[in-house]
Amino acid sequence: MTRPARGRMTQKQIAELAGVSQATVSLVLNGREGNGVRIPEETRQRVLEVINSTIYVADPAARRLAGVGNKILGVFTYEPAFPNESVDFYTPLLMGIESEAEKLGSDLLIFTSAAVEDGHRHIFQPNNRIGLADGCLLLGREIDREDLVRLVAEDYPFVAIGRREVDGVPYVGVDYAGATASLARIALERGHRRFLYFHVDSDSESVRDRREGLVSAVGEATDASLEFRVGSPEAIEEAVAVVAARRVTVVFVEDPALAEEFARAVEAAGLSVPRDVSIVVLGDTARLDPDQRDFTRLQPPRSELGRRATILLDELLSSGKELPGERTRILLDCPIALGATLAEATESAE
């Protein structure tokens, strides 16, 4: 079989090598048999053999327009995926996505052309190339609501990672409310009645879910109280003073880095964790250093989250019809690590 000169292989060249018409090559590539057109299996195999032995790459945009999949799954992150401060969050997610995409025989395409503005990206901007993928996984604590509404309206296949309160949005998330409530109940069982909550400055669904779980569980004890603080250096200083005065015995912290900062501030003030104050973290880092503090914490199943979201996207792409809501809105259980920072409550001031 004579090979053409180096360069991008064309359908015309594939047809010449296989001894068929260019139209036949197009039909094989796009899977567009029908209306009385049927390609003999021997001919199909001959065309596929030529394609597999060359460097021909079908135009993904053209295949999408023709309604044919490319086996390309997109990944769009609303925050940078690989900076030092968030790599521990995104790495296990991306590992789960990658492992499942490999099983499905799909390639991953990470969209990075959208500039980050005020810490976030937007899908619909001049350099938007999301149409190159068959469908897309969306990652980010805060996903632009207008993007979600438009994706639903345009019937573009996608799955959000994390629970989203937008009609028609398929997602795979974590049951933060239930897991946070479980941790709060453990604290109550250990005698804690004075709670303080350090949360991030966000109104995202995951933040609200954690807050709802904590408020609900603490509210079950009529003699318990709960204070709120947005995490900041000033708030940490104030919280240490509150702990020193024995007005708080347990602090729930949403951000793991802030929890470590708070613990060091407590110790710098001559107090002890967990003897003087217990600390519960409503998140986790992916890689625990041997010397890292063993916080009592939530352990969101991030790799499983990425894997299940990829499976759901594949189901949406392959089903050819709308799936029922219970199959497109999934919450995974969130494991708890009891760790070493939630002790029996010390006596608190009234």
Does any domain span residue 43?
yes
**pLDDT tens sequence for the chain (350 residues):** 444 444 456 778 888 888 888 888 878 776 665 555 688 888 888 888 877 666 555 555 555 544 556 788 999 988 776 655 544 678 889 999 999 999 999 999 998 777 767 667 788 877 778 888 889 999 988 888 999 999 999 888 999 999 999 999 999 999 999 999 999 999 999 999 999 999 888 888 999 999 999 999 999 999 999 999 988 888 899 999 999 998 999 999 998 889 999 999 999 999 999 999 999 999 887 555 667 899 999 999 999 999 999 999 999 998 866 777 788 999 999 999 999 999 999 765 44
Does any domain span residue 184?
yes
Say yes or no: 152 and 186 in one domain: no
What are the residue ranges of helices labelled H in the chain?
11-18, 22-30, 41-52, 60-65, 87-104, 145-153, 176-189, 205-219, 233-244, 256-268, 302-319, 325-328
**Separation of alpha carbons 164 and 230, rounded Å:** 23
**Separation of alpha carbons 296 and 301, rounded Å:** 16
**Separation of alpha carbons 344 and 339, rounded Å:** 13
Residue 117 is encoded by which pair of tokens? 């503005």
Does the predicted TM-score (pTM) go above 0.85? no
Say yes or no: 205 and 180 in one domain: yes
CATH code of the domain in which 218 resides: 3.40.50.2300
Residue 33 is encoded by which pair of tokens? 């048999």
pLDDT at position 85, please? 53
Does any domain span residue 121?
yes
Does any domain span residue 267?
yes
Range of the domain at 194: 176-300
pLDDT at position 158, please? 95
pLDDT at position 193, please? 95
pLDDT at position 349, please? 47
Say yes or no: 84 and 181 in one domain: no
pLDDT digits (tens, 9 = 90+) for 251-265: 999 988 899 999 999
